[in-house]
Structure 1
Amino acid sequence: MNRTVLFELGLEEMPARFIDDALHQLTVRTKDWFKENRIPCGAIQGYATPRRLAVKISDVAEQQPDMEEEVKGPAKKIALDEEGNWSKAAIGFSKGQGQKVDDIYFKEINGTEYVHINKFTKGESSFQLLAGFREVLLGLSFPKNMRWGNSDLRFIRPIRWIVALYGDTVIPFQIGKVTSAKHTYGHRFLGSHSPTISEAEEYETVMEREFVIADVNKRKQLIVEQLSQLEEAENWLIMKDEALLNEVTHLVEYPTVFSGAFSDEFLEVPEEALITSMKEHQRYFPIRGGDGSLQPYFVAVRNGNSEHLDTVSRGNEKVLKARLADAQFFYREDQKGSLEKKAAKLQKMVYQEELGTLADKVDRVKAITDEISTLLDFSEAAAAKAIRAAELCKFDLVTHMVDEFSELQGIMGEKYARLFGEEEDVAVAIREHYMPTQAGGELPATVIGSVVSIADKLDTIIGSISIGIIPTGSQDPYGLRRQALGVLQILRQNNWPVSLEHLLDIVYKLYAKEQLSERNEAEVKQDVQEFFTIRASYLLKDEGIEPDIVEAVLVHGIHVYPVTIEKAKILADKRQDPSFKSSQEALGRVLNLAEKAVTSEVNPELFENKSEADLYESYQQVHDEYKQLMATEQPEKALRKLTELTEPIHLFFDKTMVMAEDEKVKQNRLGLLHLISDDIMSFADFNAIQWKQQF
């Protein structure tokens, strides 16, 4: 008779942020464990609350199915000695399979006979095997494990109880000093002391009776339903942030939604600060009215029932009032003085010991912004705004508000800049220069914000790498990868005709002038280029560009990034175009031999036949226009111009022996191919592309 199996691990409260992953691990590992142990079972249901991780497995068979398998052993020549008797190898093999040598038979595989045995394994009792499930529980991994008391066991939190049931029978095992049993614990305040789970199938029912909603999805849905009911009753728009909703789901075992209010005098504080106080510090849901404005109310989730909610609400209102009073005080204090005085305080804030203070960083960002503004041919007014935004981009780091709420950096900078009378473009750019704040996040919407953002990010990336801070593995404490991706995404969004390498050179020269780099300049440049190339590869592949084409267009750098993307897409289309095959072969043949050239100088007087003269003439006709098309960001037309060399190249190879015996003639021909290859490689490395697979 099949039965339901239950395992519950009772713990001290776990951090909410760890629960989703722990539950996923538990369900996946459970499925794998039952498969590896050949125990047939039905549905697997995972449960989690702050104080427990549990899994229920339905329809578990009483025993493993019997198994008969053919096992291959040593070759016949090893299994028999010269006299035809069984060797030690054959005897050991049969004994190891629980059989006798009389059970051996030979079977030919690829012309060689091997020993075989039919091995029969009787299925073991599931109940006996289930005690081994403790290894699944112990195998759960967490970002932080700790050792508790005198125990050698390292786990996320102390284990307080274990429930392990096969139907109504306890599965005996022990973890640390805790032995499995039928006894669990309900809600810390509402549940009874050590209730009993008589039958594994009754788990959810018993838990709900003990004021524990063990099913995460059910608990979350209860919260959502209560929020919706409150919205409808009060005509509110509750800001149901998904991350916050998920977090409060993992903070409670028995959710009850309630609301509270705060004085509308606090609404003078920028809503971002109020929302941050509510969401990040108190785990409250802010509320908007029908017009979208923030309202002086909040919604929270209690870990308990609906009794004495008024008292709970008043207590939370007092806590929030203190938080908001602090925010109000900070906001008012921050409006004293001037922006220049605040920016001057950056001189006392160390950015990096080797790179100076935050004031030093701001000076570099200003200089880089000035250079980029010139490169982009900004008007005098636009350039002045960009430089002013760069000058003020970090001033809010010294404010009380950002000191308390670090996530508001840039946001408060924008608001304070407006209050102090800065131009709107400058204020917006102060906020935007931090964008994107996360992978795939919003990019700056303004040109000035984009320029300052790139300047700041390039200084951070090159500064970090120049002092040896290079991300490795999953370690990237300064977010350099995200910032490099941001630089490329901003360049693409604005479609600027600016080479990434040119932008990097601006920063290299600044660092050389100020003698900031502690490492060899060539090594720094190589590391930075590789770092950006990897990020560009990631973005191109994310757009569906195949790896070989990515390699082909990035072979000599990223250059004008929007053009590089366009080149990659053009080549992806050409790979599917049979009419391009002849051009691809011609350009590829040039690249193959051009590597052997020792010079790119060509002397027409050394030409011995018409085909090489014609190819040189065709190259001269194509070259200047091709370069002009590339310089004006017209890669499709440029490739079309380059393919005008297809026929002259084929005729050249048909009529000309490149590797001539005369060394001067040979090098002259190779030099011609090298000239052409320079143009080809400025588009892409055609030989890196797997053309043959497509034609």
Structure 2
Amino acid sequence: MSPLPVADLLVEIGTEELPPSALAGLSEAFRDALLKQLDEARLAHGEAHAFASPRRLAVTIAALATAQPDEQVTRRGPAVKAAFDAEGAATKAALGFAQSCGVEVAALEREETPKGAWLCYRHQVSGEPAAALLPGLIEQALAALPIPKRMRWGDRSVEFVRPVHWVCVLLGEALVPGQVLGLAIDRLTRGHRFHHPEAISLAAPGDYLAALRAARVEPDLATRRRSIREQVEALAAEAGGAAMIDDAVLDEVTALCEWPVALLGRFEAGFLEVPPEVLIETMQANQKYFPVLDGAGRLLPCFITVSNIESREPEQVRAGNERVIRPRFADAKFFWEQDLKTPLAERVAALQGIVFQHQLGTLLEKTERVVALSAWIAGEIGADVDETHRAARLAKADLVTQMVGEFGSLQGVMGRYYAQSAGEPAVIAEALEQHYWPKHAGDRLPETDLARAIAIADRVDTLVGIFAIGQRPTGVKDPYGLRRAAIAVLRLLIETPLALDLRTLLERAAAGYPSSIDAAGCIDEVLQYSIDRLKRYYADAENDRSADADVIAAVLALGLTQPLDIDRRIHAVQGFRGRPEAAALAAANKRTRNLLRKAPTAELGERIDPNLLQDAAERALVSALEAMMERVRTLLEQQDYEAALSELAGLRQVLDDFFEQVMVMAEEPDLRANRLAILKRLETLFLGVADISLLQAS
């Protein structure tokens, strides 16, 4: 069979401005959904490329088959024994099947199967032309896009993320006939809204990129992003500094521009008296500007904006952006100067006016609980209790300042500045910012024990309180960020590291709530919730502490509540799992567990009677156990679990010999009980590290 003819495909959906935060995702999803539709329609194709700008989603696909391949279709009918009577005449079943196929009974074939013979009809079905299928396939691909809320426009019933103004679909040089989203397909695209508002007629998909670039549209997201970065970096270098390029801001600017042109703007140096984080937040979050830093990392009085137009008067564009930023900076400077008039310590009382949660009271009440809990933690980890008490009391005070009221993301950061201005010790000022760390997955941890104590206390208090009022996260809903809080506590305890018991922490936090809140009643639930987060923490392949699922299960089976101790055991068992003895010892532990579980409780004693040791194999096992008992116990007390497992690995041969040569469940009760006592001691030793019986063969 000769190969089917192929042609390149272009699909472009022209819209009003698409949401910038969703543009990259929509572009990739459209490409993937369209390829899925083509594959399901049996239309062979080559490589696909996605394109996107604020006003378009487009896909080009190389070497698309211009028709489906012909298909041999087999339709099965009734069984042969039901299709003909004793005289060989066709029954109603055979006649009806033939009629439904549009042929005579004589044209039917027989299909032999292990379950008997069947009538069947085989015929060749010609493939549909791709041009006839494409409008429907494109519609289905668009319907599959991840759009949370679709909109309608005009008097049309069709829906999309934004109103659609044109649809261009070309297969080779041919226009694909039909409609998509209620619009007739055309070979027209559009250039830049201002530089080239006229429609552009495309002769073939291969003309797409050149035509749009000539019309001041760069349709490739990656190319546009790279161009913006290069322009921004070059302008920053001309200004004598380096651009501060936040990836999220760069992505958003890329999604907002079709033809990006970077411009350098300036502002009065007097604004630099305001903390740089405030100016940077204003530039990045509000204006989508790129700040410029000098060689020492200090903010320079300039910024870089990216315009979506190649203006004939760039000075006017620059001046306009400078006019926009100036009042925002002036407001920030005013807030800064006004906030400095009231020391941070004098603002604590105002927290009484902010509700933390209507059932759990105000931020001042939460602050008092966190003060008590963090002071206790400080005593446990060796931090200065008085300094911790002071820092915890000031930790939320910046929430009532004008600056944080305007720039909520700067909570903690402004607390540090206001504490420094009030003459608080550096360690206290730093703790006010760092107790919010980590803010997200993979974020840095607090650098001092004082900050760590407050960070843990703040989150544990929230966990206990929210669970106590029955607001546990469900599904994807987690309005109080409890998942993030639990993981942060675990990271602080494990990665710092801090040898604190999680149950004790929760009990201490619960004791801080009034009797009207049954905080103590939720401790087990919060503990289990946190342990479940621990499972995900170790299951994360990107985490350098990641471990196999059976290793995690083997350690967590012990019901431990100190995350640092759990971490050390998981690390040790993960290493042990790779040893050649691991599989045999895991199997022996599993056999031991099963025998002990089935044995009557009355026969499970702790004492081994040496006079009842009959076989050489059991004597050898007992001797090996006694020889390593004290060494292993000492290693367990030191939490040196790797060394303990290394010692226990030496039991492999004597344990194999024991199970091969000794009948544990002997008929004589005393002999059976003595052998079960040997296994009980063995199990106790291994359970000092983990339930090795749960390890799977690697």
Q: Work out whether the TM-score is over 0.5.
A: yes
Residue number in structure 2 paired with 1:320: 325
Counterpart-to-counterpart distance in 2, 1:490 and 1:434: 12
Could you tell me how far 1:398 is from its partner in structure 2?
1.4
Residue number in structure 2 paired with 1:338: 343
User: Would the alpha carbon gap of residues 580 and 57 (structure 1) be closer, same or farther in structure 2, given more than 3 Å must change?
Assistant: closer
Counterpart-to-counterpart distance in 2, 1:332 and 1:369: 32
**Which shows bigger deviation, 183-192 or 284-293?**
183-192
1:68 to 2:86 alignment: no
Counterpart-to-counterpart distance in 1, 2:662 and 2:171: 84
Residue number in structure 2 paired with 1:677: 683
C-alpha offsets along residues 26-80 of structure 1, whole Å, 9 cap, x if unaligned? 1111222222222233332222111111222333333222233666777666666
**Which shows bigger deviation, 560-569 or 440-449?**
560-569
Counterpart-to-counterpart distance in 1, 2:380 and 2:41: 66
C-alpha offsets along residues 75-134 of structure 1, whole Å, 9 cap, x if unaligned? 666666666666677677777777765555555555755666544221222211122122
- Give the secondary-structure state (helix, strand or coil) at the position aligned to 2:554: helix
1:21 to 2:22 alignment: no
- Give the secondary-structure state (helix, strand or coil) at the position aligned to 2:636: helix
Counterpart-to-counterpart distance in 1, 2:93 and 2:265: 80
Alignment of 1:486-635 (within 5 A): 486-511=488-513, 514-517=515-518, 520-521=521-522, 524-525=525-526, 527-539=528-540, 542=543, 543-580=545-582, 583-596=585-598, 598=601, 602=605, 604=607, 609-610=612-613, 626-635=632-641
Residue number in structure 2 paired with 1:56: 60
1:349 to 2:354 alignment: yes
1:211 to 2:212 alignment: no
Counterpart-to-counterpart distance in 1, 2:523 and 2:92: 64
Q: Is the 8 A contact 1:145 1:155 kept in 2?
A: yes
Could you tell me how far 1:2 is from its partner in structure 2?
4.0
Residue number in structure 2 paired with 1:161: 166
- Give the secondary-structure state (helix, strand or coil) at the position aligned to 2:18: coil
C-alpha offsets along residues 201-233 of structure 1, whole Å, 9 cap, x if unaligned? 322333233322222222223323322432343
User: Would the alpha carbon gap of residues 652 and 253 (structure 1) be closer, same or farther in structure 2, given more than 3 Å must change?
Assistant: closer
1:404 to 2:406 alignment: yes
1:282 to 2:287 alignment: yes
- Give the secondary-structure state (helix, strand or coil) at the position aligned to 1:683: coil
**Which shows bigger deviation, 203-212 or 327-336?**
203-212
Equivalent position amino acid for 1:16 in 2: P
Could you tell me how far 1:536 is from its partner in structure 2?
3.9
Counterpart-to-counterpart distance in 2, 1:202 and 1:648: 75
Counterpart-to-counterpart distance in 2, 1:651 and 1:200: 76
User: Would the alpha carbon gap of residues 91 and 223 (structure 1) be closer, same or farther in structure 2, given more than 3 Å must change?
Assistant: farther
1:303 to 2:308 alignment: yes
Counterpart-to-counterpart distance in 1, 2:695 and 2:608: 36
- Give the secondary-structure state (helix, strand or coil) at the position aligned to 1:181: coil
Equivalent position amino acid for 1:354 in 2: Q
CA RMSD across the alignment: 3.5
Counterpart-to-counterpart distance in 2, 1:37 and 1:605: 73
- Structure 1: which 5+ runs fail to align? none
**Which shows bigger deviation, 41-50 or 95-104?**
95-104
The one of 115, 119, 130 equivalent to 2:134 is 130
Counterpart-to-counterpart distance in 2, 1:440 and 1:587: 37
Could you tell me how far 1:305 is from its partner in structure 2?
0.8
C-alpha offsets along residues 234-265 of structure 1, whole Å, 9 cap, x if unaligned? 33311122221111111011111111100000
Counterpart-to-counterpart distance in 2, 1:231 and 1:44: 36
User: Would the alpha carbon gap of residues 656 and 7 (structure 1) be closer, same or farther in structure 2, given more than 3 Å must change?
Assistant: closer
Counterpart-to-counterpart distance in 1, 2:541 and 2:501: 17
Alignment of 1:135-150 (within 5 A): 135-150=140-155
Alignment of 1:33-432 (within 5 A): 33-68=37-72, 102=106, 104-106=108-110, 118-132=122-136, 133-175=138-180, 177-376=182-381, 378=382, 382-432=384-434
User: Would the alpha carbon gap of residues 66 and 652 (structure 1) be closer, same or farther in structure 2, given more than 3 Å must change?
Assistant: closer
Counterpart-to-counterpart distance in 2, 1:183 and 1:649: 78
**Which shows bigger deviation, 122-131 or 600-609?**
600-609
Q: Is the 8 A contact 1:586 1:650 kept in 2?
A: no
Could you tell me how far 1:429 is from its partner in structure 2?
1.6
Q: Is the 8 A contact 1:9 1:163 kept in 2?
A: yes
Q: Is the 8 A contact 1:468 1:519 kept in 2?
A: no
Counterpart-to-counterpart distance in 2, 1:463 and 1:498: 20
Equivalent position amino acid for 2:612 in 1: N
User: Would the alpha carbon gap of residues 80 and 430 (structure 1) be closer, same or farther in structure 2, given more than 3 Å must change?
Assistant: farther
C-alpha offsets along residues 552-598 of structure 1, whole Å, 9 cap, x if unaligned? 11113354434433333333333332345554444333322333454
- Give the secondary-structure state (helix, strand or coil) at the position aligned to 1:496: coil
Equivalent position amino acid for 1:478 in 2: Y
C-alpha offsets along residues 482-501 of structure 1, whole Å, 9 cap, x if unaligned? 22222222222223333333
Q: Is the 8 A contact 1:598 1:671 kept in 2?
A: no
Q: Is the 8 A contact 1:553 1:564 kept in 2?
A: yes
Q: Is the 8 A contact 2:373 2:509 kept in 1?
A: yes
Q: Is the 8 A contact 1:97 1:119 kept in 2?
A: no
Counterpart-to-counterpart distance in 1, 2:689 and 2:606: 26
Counterpart-to-counterpart distance in 2, 1:609 and 1:530: 44
Q: Is the 8 A contact 1:626 1:638 kept in 2?
A: yes
Counterpart-to-counterpart distance in 1, 2:102 and 2:48: 35
**Which shows bigger deviation, 555-564 or 335-344?**
555-564
- Give the secondary-structure state (helix, strand or coil) at the position aligned to 1:258: strand
Q: Is the 8 A contact 2:438 2:488 kept in 1?
A: yes
- Give the secondary-structure state (helix, strand or coil) at the position aligned to 2:262: strand
Counterpart-to-counterpart distance in 2, 1:264 and 1:89: 93
Equivalent position amino acid for 1:372 in 2: I
Counterpart-to-counterpart distance in 2, 1:8 and 1:549: 50
User: Would the alpha carbon gap of residues 659 and 479 (structure 1) be closer, same or farther in structure 2, given more than 3 Å must change?
Assistant: farther
C-alpha offsets along residues 380-438 of structure 1, whole Å, 9 cap, x if unaligned? xx222222222222111112111111111111112211111111111112211111111
Q: Is the 8 A contact 2:588 2:655 kept in 1?
A: no
Could you tell me how far 1:656 is from its partner in structure 2?
5.6
C-alpha offsets along residues 614-648 of structure 1, whole Å, 9 cap, x if unaligned? 98898788666644432322112333455677648
C-alpha offsets along residues 668-687 of structure 1, whole Å, 9 cap, x if unaligned? 86577556534433421222
Counterpart-to-counterpart distance in 2, 1:58 and 1:648: 64
Q: Is the 8 A contact 2:511 2:519 kept in 1?
A: no
Counterpart-to-counterpart distance in 2, 1:678 and 1:208: 73
Q: Is the 8 A contact 2:539 2:547 kept in 1?
A: no
User: Would the alpha carbon gap of residues 229 and 579 (structure 1) be closer, same or farther in structure 2, given more than 3 Å must change?
Assistant: closer
Q: Is the 8 A contact 1:386 1:451 kept in 2?
A: yes
Equivalent position amino acid for 1:293 in 2: R
Counterpart-to-counterpart distance in 2, 1:79 and 1:432: 82
User: Would the alpha carbon gap of residues 526 and 439 (structure 1) be closer, same or farther in structure 2, given more than 3 Å must change?
Assistant: closer
- Give the secondary-structure state (helix, strand or coil) at the position aligned to 2:185: strand
Q: Is the 8 A contact 1:78 1:89 kept in 2?
A: yes
Equivalent position amino acid for 2:18 in 1: M
- Give the secondary-structure state (helix, strand or coil) at the position aligned to 1:57: strand
User: Would the alpha carbon gap of residues 459 and 17 (structure 1) be closer, same or farther in structure 2, given more than 3 Å must change?
Assistant: same
**Which shows bigger deviation, 54-63 or 388-397?**
54-63
Q: Is the 8 A contact 2:467 2:526 kept in 1?
A: no
1:7 to 2:8 alignment: no
Counterpart-to-counterpart distance in 2, 1:326 and 1:95: 84
Could you tell me how far 1:299 is from its partner in structure 2?
0.5
User: Would the alpha carbon gap of residues 310 and 474 (structure 1) be closer, same or farther in structure 2, given more than 3 Å must change?
Assistant: same
- Give the secondary-structure state (helix, strand or coil) at the position aligned to 1:314: helix
Counterpart-to-counterpart distance in 1, 2:399 and 2:50: 44
